[in-house]
Structure 1
Amino acid sequence: MEESFPMTGGDGPYSYAKNSNLQKEAAENAKALLVAAITKNLEINKQKICPISSSFRIVDFGCSTGPNTFIAVDTIIEAVSKTFHDHVPEFHVFFSDHVSNDFNILFTNLPKDRTYFAAGVPGSFHRRLFPRASLNLAYSSHALQWLSKTPAEVEDSSSPAFNKGKIFYAKAAEQVGEAYRRQHEEDMASFFNARSEELAPGGLLAILMSGREDGSSPAQSSLGPFLAPLESTLVDMANEGVISHEKLDSFNLPIFSPSPEEIRKIIQKNGCFEISRLELQPRTFRPMIITPEQCRAGFESIISKHFNDNNNNQNIVDQIFSRYSKKIEGCSPISADDKSIATGLFLSLKRKS
């Protein structure tokens, strides 16, 4: 069954809306690539054949609750407008995420001076969400590393890929990383199949997600260094009996960082897209760790769903993040020179005629 773990909604101190600066910085670093992908590859003559309407239709898959999605949309519209020159169309923007996403806070914060019509489209981007050939440009930023579900093998105690005592594939057995890679390949194939139906001929698809270098194994390069303090926190709590070892062993984060070559093979197998650009971004972020607020904004939903029960309610979640806060006090910041961590992966594709 496909799972849904939205970012923390609302506008409180632990909300994604207040704690998404890391994603914002990564998107800003890729802004020039996004603009170039649009201005160099958008074919105006083909965009006019969209059978639904004369408007230019844009979607952000995995929009979450903002404000990053609004910044990205403004960048896209500015670049498209320059490409159309004197005949700028009306813009219709779709904000898409799981049905459990906090669309209320998203639309409460819609820019009042926006130059586009807005709509929300709930549902998983691993399946069709739009009519055939109805989209002109699809975009996704730091959402596609999320899998549709955790690979079943890593939570099966009889499987060689059983990930006992860990919450991720970093520094895990080779079979664990391979199970994650297979799930990612299946999910990305579904994503590209759906977009090949929805994008009009000549339509563009731009994606920013976490990735790793070609030639590296999943266990060698991932988000593991960022997640190590959270894993250590949960292991401590299991050893102290605060949570059960069974609960820990059945908890694995459904996130994967692919290599460019892995993505390339999936696209080529699909056969509907021309690759305009596919590359890793330089590791340019400052030395850092994930703060308790950032960690909670991203993972509270999945942690709460797994570790809460009728007896402890919210208390166990508060304990986890309180301990996490103390855990990172003794952690050294992660450096951009650390080759074991994931970096940004940017790709732009054009829908073939």
Structure 2
Amino acid sequence: MPQTVQGVISRAKDAPVELTTIVVPDPGPGEAVVQIQACGVCHTDLHYKTGGIGDDYPYLLGHEAAGVVESVGDGVTEVQPGDYVILNWRAVCGECRACRRGRPWYCFNTHNARQKMTLEDGTELSPALGIGAFVEKTLVAAGQCTKVDSAAPATVAGLLGCGVMAGIGAAINTGAVTRNDSVAVIGCGGVGDAAIAGARLVGAHTVIAIDTDQRKLDWAREFGATHTVLASDGDVVEQVQALTGGFGVDVAIDAVGLPQTWKQAFYLRDLAGTVVLVGVPNPAAQLEIPLIDVFGRGGSLKSSWYGDCLPTRDFPVLIDLYLQGRLPLDRFVTEQIGLTDIEAAFEKMHHGDVLRSVVVL
């Protein structure tokens, strides 16, 4: 039978979020119901609330989550009841042209649960990133569940479901940072700091954190930044070149997504260096750059989709590294809150006061 649980929705653009009753159907074929233990408050959730992603209201917010599988539908083999899982928003299909070419991290046909969760009056909800996890229990496609070691607390494990994975993957998967590389990361929020942690994890010898906020630069050092650049102190490109013998870095990661920060990343890299865009741009943003500069500097210009991750490959490995003390996921958690505190968490996020608020259920 369908269950009724408590969850947080955004009913209309810019309206305060609401804690209300959600109806969760029994899982159908290929689906699973997951009891949520913790869920991070991600900037993407704020974008849903403010209309920055779409207008398919009401939205069931939350997506950066970990919990326990409660039940599964017919044909599910990936997980079973009792499994401890991290939720992901790119369940690969296994059949599209990317999957068939052995590149499932680029899957062009990722999928979600077919059934809809609803309000008590039958109004269908749009789950954030196909998950909807500011709720006691949620319905997802079974492929959105990745089993990991239950020794990792849900407050940190769930962060791999979005922002932290995006940043780590931008460095390791997309940017292919390796031992003895030099790296610059523009924007030291959760995604940027995760990129810094990822770069240090694989042995980058120089990791330069760049931001306009000195507090965030101080946080970046905790994740492994070897140098910091306060953007207001002068030309960012010149400051980075001064730290790299006048050459620039091997890999430049833009975790902001503005035309000006992308240009900084482009010009502060060394010849034949790599630019990685992981910050999500405004759809109206336009970029102008001399084409001869693109040709003359060589290298690679890349966009990072969810850190180009494959959850079944990457989540268990990163959790193991955390448990070994080699990946400081705990440092991302600024505060633990309840479902009634999410509106206040959005305000703190807006002012840059937190890396991650994490809802504990």
TM-score (norm 2): 0.34
* Bigger fraction of residues in helix: 1
- Of structures 1 and 2, the one scoring higher in RCO (CA 8 A, sep 6+) is 1
